[in-house]
Structure 1
């Protein structure tokens, strides 16, 4: 199987706040921290059965891998069901349905007691912990986050593969204009280098997360997640520290996404087709192909 030439994201068992900031936050380098959650109640309690117990009747938004449609609004869910039904689905068979950006504090207050904000040199936004769930072999599309946050991504129950690219590699990833995603025709688990030759130049990193692992993703990093087993993760966010990233975040939130929604309503699928065409043309130009 053809794949990218990837570096393994380093794994650290014990690290001080000063070491974390010096070695990873300031130079903006990913790292997996292995013992950051060992003293959390969540480390022993959080699995799919526990989540079902505390939130079985909660209606949750679901997303799958269908192509973006002009009829869909920004981050609009594709379906809804109760958390109990969804977890039963995860256990019964592989499914592409995922929970994406699920508000932890708002929807399941009981879980707040199970974790704490780690003292590792990042000032986390206390109102924005999010949960993410996925079934076996389901993938989260290649994207970067709208707010350019520094992200600490904690995984629970099972195993997932995380493929990361720094912002410097955007020119090789067929970025879709006026969006946060790569061209949807790319399968980042099995990249077609003949059809998308610029991908050969992209330098990425990967990590395999298991229960309790915490992945630090710096500002604006592209990420593509594949659940190797059913499982879920939680993300804590810290505002971008680089002024240029803060400006990009403001633009994305207050201008870009609204402009894209207007163009979808006005031009429909022609707008989406145009953006995909431009993702290829612009990449060829930037990658000198």
Structure 2
């Protein structure tokens, strides 16, 4: 029996078995990872609400940082709870993801199969009632399309550098998951209401997360079920963990891999900013990953670039494949436009 199996057996005998999710509640993820022999370290927490310290960390890109107290003046901190949101915005029509899978890395069906249009009020009712077995998510929604930008003064925390920015909201039930993936820009992730856990890995550990051969920014590893026989390089990586509570801001440096899971119904807002990772970094990673990745890239360069065949969307908000992005780079000089949320802001 593996360490993870022994730990789960102990939980079951004590009457704490998860409701349908094989990995148990999200707050058990760190003990499971450590029981598997992985190194998990807490993310540094700033001692005080210090914008200067946050900006210095961004300038140095010396690793992630959790700050508290920087959001206390935001109207969102008191007004973005389900009851108030329903009163102010309940009639608005939204497209949300309903009855999502509770386990696995890829969606069993195309993401569009989970999309439903409903009122925001109806979604909030679904969100508060949903359990972790079939979570629901209003995710990757541009914040200004629902809320007054004065509610979330996140842009003032960022250095002005001339690069495109984008702000999104994430509103969902307990059990929602953004599986291990990498974004090309720096990220301020702000927890407004509810609680989430985040696991991070450095971009330099990208080989250890075993990206999909056709997509360099999504990992094949479910950290709730880390198969170290299949993914042995993960043993040598350092994982960084934080539990985010209302008022916490997490700085995620560009390229850092992150896995985000909700403990409770949750409202979050994030802001992408800064200079993106470029073609050179991705080509360096592609070269290190080997022939299987090269073949997938050539295939998708032809299929989804030259032949323009539509790509499936079974990742969580699927980015374009590596081959399609390389095709875009050849044609336009921009490898990351299709993966840059600020490109069409």
Fold-level similarity (TM above 0.5): yes
The number of residue pairs the alignment matches comes to 254
The verdict on how the C-alpha distance between 1:238 and 1:76 changes in structure 2, with shifts beyond 3 A counting, is farther
Whole-Å separation in 2 of the counterparts to 1:250 and 1:201: 21
The TM-score normalised by the length of structure 1 is: 0.75
Distance apart, 1:217 and its partner CA: 0.5
Residue 284 (structure 1) aligns with:
none
How far apart are the structure 2 equivalents of 1:5 and 1:250? 26
C-alpha separation in 1, matches of 2:237 and 2:254: 18
Tell me if the contact between 1:48 and 1:157 (Cα under 8 Å) persists in the aligned partners: no
Instruction: Specify the alignment match of 2:168 in structure 1.
Output: 130
Further displaced range: 46-55 or 122-131: 122-131
1:108 matched to which residue of 2? 146
Cα shift at 1:40 = 1.3
Residues 238/192 of structure 1: CA separation in 2 closer, same or farther (3 Å cut): same
Residue 225 in structure 1 maps to residue 260 in structure 2: yes
Q: Which residue of 2 aligns with 1:177?
A: 213
CA distance in structure 2 between the partners assigned to 1:118 and 1:59 by the alignment: 24
* Paired residue secondary structure (1:161): strand
Q: How far apart are the structure 1 equivalents of 2:266 and 2:50?
A: 29
1:200 aligns with 2:238: no
Q: What secondary structure is seen at the aligned counterpart in 1 of 2:240? A: strand
Q: CA deviation at 1:218?
A: 0.5
Matched, 1:82 2:137: no
Cα distance change, pair 85–177 in 1 and its aligned pair in 2 (3 A): same
Aligned residue number for residue 328 of structure 2: none
| Pair 1:16–1:103, CA change in 2 (3 A) | same
Structure number with greater CO (CA < 8 Å, separation at least 6) is: 1
Counterparts of 1:136-151 in structure 2, within 5 Å, are 136-145=174-183, 148-151=184-187
Instruction: Please point out which of 212, 222, 245 is paired with 1:210.
Output: 245
C-alpha contact (below 8 Å) 1:24/1:31 kept by paired residues:
no
State the partner residue of 1:280.
none
**Structure 1 residues 90 and 198, CA, compared in 2 at 3 Å: closer, same or farther?**
same
**Pairing 1:25–2:51 present:** no
**Is 1:162 the counterpart of 2:203 in the alignment?**
no
**Using a 3 Å threshold, how does the CA distance of structure 1 residues 61 and 18 change in structure 2: closer, same or farther?**
same
**1: CA distance, partners of 2:167 / 2:175:** 24
Determine which structure has more spread, i.e. the larger CA radius of gyration. 2
Say whether residues 1:45 and 2:79 are aligned partners.
yes
Q: Which runs of 5+ in 1 are unaligned?
A: 270-274, 276-289
Task: Check 1:213–1:18 CA distance in 2 against 1; reply closer, same or farther (3 A cut).
Answer: closer
Q: Which residue of 1 aligns with 2:8?
A: none
TM-aligned CA distance change 1:137 to 1:264, over 3 Å: farther
| Higher alpha-carbon deviation: 203-212 or 112-121 | 112-121
Change (3 A) 1:119 1:79: closer
1:48, CA displacement in angstroms? 2.0
User: 2-side partners of 1:13 and 1:55: how far apart?
Assistant: 36
